[in-house]
Amino acid sequence: MMARRREGRSTTLVRALDDGGGPWTVETLSHLCTTQGITGHLAVLGQPYLDRILSGVKTVESRMSLNRTLPYGAVTAGDLIFLKERAGPLVGIAEVKHVENHGPLGSQDLQALLELWRDGLALESDWVEAKRAARYLSLFVLSQVTNVQPAHVEKRDRRPWVVLGRDLRRLTEEHQLCLDGHDFRTPRRGATAAHACTRCAAALPRDRLHRRELSDADFTLEQLRLDRFRAEWWAAPLDDQALARLTRRPASSIEPTILRRLYSSVGRVMKAGPQAGRPFRDGYQTPYSGDILYYAQHATASCCRRCIAYWHGVPEGADLPDADITYLASLMLRYIDERRNQLANHH
């Protein structure tokens, strides 16, 4: 893709990217913005929306969420957005001309706003339907969109939006955002679950999560990644033993192995004794290293019965129904497939 030059605040950044000043990481991009006195943002976009922005068809970028999360409240007019393709390179820079933040919203409020901005948003109907439960909406009117030579950016986490060149701690205090992830803390045994972030009070959407519908797995995995503890398991490098087991196991054997692990670790409870109604050593039965299955259990909140009850709504005190084991196995399989793809793309 040939660079399309336009005079503006992005000129220096475009030149740096086109001249191959990398290797680029989130940290080096943030430093570049800081040295230029610019607040920047790294936005990860899927297709066809990225191409629509670069071609000028889409002039308004939107972000919708159930809770107050980035980039809500974090973007101001004059900021620059680095446009990165999902699982691909950074390919453009856009300047923000106008910002609107709305929320909390009712479903009719959200639909009215999306209709008002329909032409600039250029959204597909299925995308709008997938976001129908969102209560917060950020709108960014873009100007001076500039293509750059595709540049690889080393990014090891799943964040779809990263603030660059700005004091994140102050931003957190100003907007009461958990910029590094929510803290949905599993309660101690016997305690009442709050189902809300302990830092910003954002609500966990348990009514939707506790339906345990495989057709809604994308939403469930997205919510898990918003939690600081769960997010670490999606991004953390695999230890040597876990990596070896992942690469050694045939893909065809993964699903049966996951099912066996769930049955043995969380599926069956003790019938008598002081641990009656719980799996053996519940809360301690899933190690933190040594096998990709352990990573998958922690990442998907399938590691102990308290986490399963909190996140997925399966009551404690009895054996896990086969349908729920199958559901959790499907989430774990999604996690393992993603880690395989990360390794393949990295090498």
Neighbours of 45 (CB within 10 A): 22
* Cα distance between residue 138 and residue 73, in whole Å: 8
Which tens digits make up the pLDDT trace of 35-73? 777 888 999 999 999 999 999 999 999 999 877 778 888
The reply to whether 96 and 234 lie within a common domain is no
Tell me, yes or no, whether 186 lies in a domain.
no
Mean pLDDT of the chain: 85
Omega into 205 within 30° of 0, i.e. cis?
no
The neighbouring-strand residues paired with 45 are 85
pLDDT of 180 reads 62
The neighbouring-strand residues paired with 64 are 137
Omega into 250 within 30° of 0, i.e. cis?
no
pTM: 0.56
The reply to whether 116 and 219 lie within a common domain is no
Question: Dihedral of CA 268/272/278/280: which sign?
Answer: negative
The reply to whether 152 and 214 lie within a common domain is no
* Domain of residue 233, residue span: 206-346
Tell me, yes or no, whether 72 lies in a domain.
yes
The reply to whether 171 and 232 lie within a common domain is no
pLDDT of 2 reads 34
* Cα distance between residue 144 and residue 6, in whole Å: 7
The reply to whether 108 and 234 lie within a common domain is no
∠226-210-110 over CA atoms, to 5°?
Answer: 60
Omega into 71 within 30° of 0, i.e. cis?
yes
**Which of 175, 197, 214 is the C-terminal boundary of a domain?**
175
pLDDT category at 108 given cuts 50, 70, 90 is confident
Tell me, yes or no, whether 218 lies in a domain.
yes
Q: Which of 1, 100, 88 is nearest to 45 (CA)?
A: 88
The answer, yes or no, to whether residue 13 has pLDDT greater than 90, is no
The neighbouring-strand residues paired with 138 are 63, 101
* Cα distance between residue 177 and residue 172, in whole Å: 5
* Cα distance between residue 285 and residue 54, in whole Å: 49
Tell me, yes or no, whether 3 lies in a domain.
no
pLDDT of 5 reads 39
CATH assignment of the domain containing 163: 2.30.130.30
Q: Residue 101 — φ and ψ, nearest 5°?
A: -120, 130
The reply to whether 23 and 141 lie within a common domain is yes
**Which of 155, 175, 195 is the C-terminal boundary of a domain?**
175
pLDDT category at 87 given cuts 50, 70, 90 is confident
The reply to whether 160 and 48 lie within a common domain is yes
SS3 readout for 52-97:
HHHHCCCCEEEEEECCCCCCCCCCCCCCEEEEEECCCCEEEEEEEE
The reply to whether 138 and 62 lie within a common domain is yes
Total domain count, the chain:
2
Q: What percent of the chain has pLDDT over 90?
A: 46
Tell me, yes or no, whether 198 lies in a domain.
no
The answer, yes or no, to whether residue 306 has pLDDT greater than 60, is yes
Identify which has the larger pLDDT, 2 or 227.
227
Tell me, yes or no, whether 199 lies in a domain.
no
The reply to whether 240 and 98 lie within a common domain is no
pLDDT of 293 reads 96
pLDDT category at 7 given cuts 50, 70, 90 is very low
The reply to whether 111 and 248 lie within a common domain is no
Residue bearing tokens 């998958």:
296
The reply to whether 302 and 153 lie within a common domain is no
Which tens digits make up the pLDDT trace of 136-171? 899 999 988 999 888 888 887 777 888 887 655 555
The answer, yes or no, to whether residue 234 has pLDDT greater than 70, is yes
Q: Which residue type sits at 221?
A: L
The answer, yes or no, to whether residue 14 has pLDDT greater than 80, is no
The answer, yes or no, to whether residue 178 has pLDDT greater than 70, is no
The reply to whether 40 and 82 lie within a common domain is yes
pLDDT of 344 reads 73
Region for residue 291 given its phi and psi (left: phi exceeds 0; alpha: psi -120 to 50; beta: otherwise): beta
**Which of 129, 159, 175 is the C-terminal boundary of a domain?**
175
- Are the beta carbons of 58 and 188 closer than 8 angstroms? no
Q: Residue 78 — φ and ψ, nearest 5°?
A: 100, -15
Neighbours of 251 (CB within 10 A): 9
pLDDT category at 347 given cuts 50, 70, 90 is low
Would strands 161-164 and 40-45 be described as parallel, antiparallel, or unpaired? antiparallel
Tell me, yes or no, whether 322 lies in a domain.
yes
Tell me, yes or no, whether 154 lies in a domain.
yes
